[in-house]
A = this chain, B = another copy of it.
Amino acid sequence: MKEPRAVDLRIDARWIVPVEPVGALQDHALVIDDGRIAALVPMHEADRDYVPRSRVSLPEHIVIPGLVNAHTHAAMTLLRGIADDLPLQAWLEQAIWPREARFVTPEFVHDGTLIAAAEMLRGGITCCNDMYFFPDAAAHAYELTGLRAMLGLPILDFPTSYAADADAYLARGLAARDAYKHSPKLAFSLAPHAPYTVADETWTNVVVYARQLDLPIQTHIAETQREVDEARAATHETPLARLDRLGATGPSFVAVHAVHVDDADIERLAAQRCHVVHCPGSNMKLASGAAPVAKYLARNVNVALGTDGAASNNRLDLFEEMRLASLLAKVTSGDAASVPAATALRMATLNGAIALGLDADIGSLRVGKAADLTAVRIGDVETLPMYDPVSHLVNAVSREHVSDVWIGGARLLESRQLQGVDSAALASRARAWQQRLA
Q: A285-B336, A430-B384 are in contact. Are A313 and B379 (CB under 8 A)?
A: no
A284-337 contacts to B (CB < 8 Å): 284-290, 313-315, 317, 324, 326-328, 330-331, 333-337
CB <8 Å contact, A327 and B324: yes
Give chain B nearest CB distance to A393 CB in angstroms: 10
Complex Cα distance A90/B338, Å? 15
Complex Cα distance A313/B314, Å? 22
A368-393 contacts to B (CB < 8 Å): 379-382, 384-388, 391-392
Which of A18-26, A76-84, A181-189, A212-220 forms part of the interface with chain B? A76-84
**A330 contacts which chain B residues (CB < 8 A)?**
85, 284-287
Give chain B nearest CB distance to A207 CB in angstroms: 33
Q: A391-B84, A395-B314 are in contact. Are A287 and B385 (CB under 8 A)?
A: no
CB <8 Å contact, A82 and B387: yes
A134-164 contacts to B (CB < 8 Å): none
Q: A381-B426, A396-B80, A427-B381 are in contact. Are A283 and B331 (CB under 8 A)?
A: yes
Check: A87 CB closer than 8 A to any chain B CB.
yes
Complex Cα distance A88/B337, Å? 11
Q: Out of B118, B328, B337, B388, name the residue touching A381 (CB < 8 Å).
A: B118
Complex Cα distance A399/B341, Å? 22
A54-102 contacts to B (CB < 8 Å): 77-78, 80-82, 84-88, 90-91
CB <8 Å contact, B381 and A84: no
CB <8 Å contact, B331 and A391: no
Q: Out of B123, B333, B382, B434, name the residue touching A384 (CB < 8 Å).
A: B434
CB <8 Å contact, B315 and A395: yes
User: Counting chain B CB atoms within 10 Å of each CB, which of A290, A333, A381 scores highest?
Assistant: A381
CB <8 Å contact, B391 and A314: yes
CB <8 Å contact, A386 and B81: yes
A106-133 vs B, CB cutoff 8 Å, 1 = contact: the mask equals: 0000000001001100110000000000
**A289 contacts which chain B residues (CB < 8 A)?**
331, 334
**A335 contacts which chain B residues (CB < 8 A)?**
87, 287
CB <8 Å contact, A336 and B118: no
**A380 contacts which chain B residues (CB < 8 A)?**
427
Check: A34 CB closer than 8 A to any chain B CB.
no
CB <8 Å contact, A81 and B331: no
Check: A236 CB closer than 8 A to any chain B CB.
no
Complex Cα distance A343/B408, Å? 44
CB <8 Å contact, B85 and A337: yes
Give chain B nearest CB distance to A109 CB in angstroms: 15
Q: Out of B82, B327, B379, B382, name the residue touching A119 (CB < 8 Å).
A: B382
CB <8 Å contact, A434 and B287: no
A→B interface (CB under 8 Å): 77-78, 80-82, 84-88, 90-91, 115, 118-119, 122-123, 281, 283-290, 313-315, 317, 324, 326-328, 330-331, 333-338, 340-341, 379-382, 384-388, 391-392, 395-396, 398-400, 423, 426-427, 430-431, 433-434, 437-438
Sample (10) of A-B pairs whose CB atoms are under 8 Å apart: A84-B395, A85-B340, A87-B337, A91-B336, A115-B384, A285-B327, A289-B331, A384-B431, A385-B434, A385-B437
The 7 closest A-B pairs by CB, nearest first: A385-B434, A400-B400, A384-B430, A284-B327, A287-B336, A87-B336, A284-B331
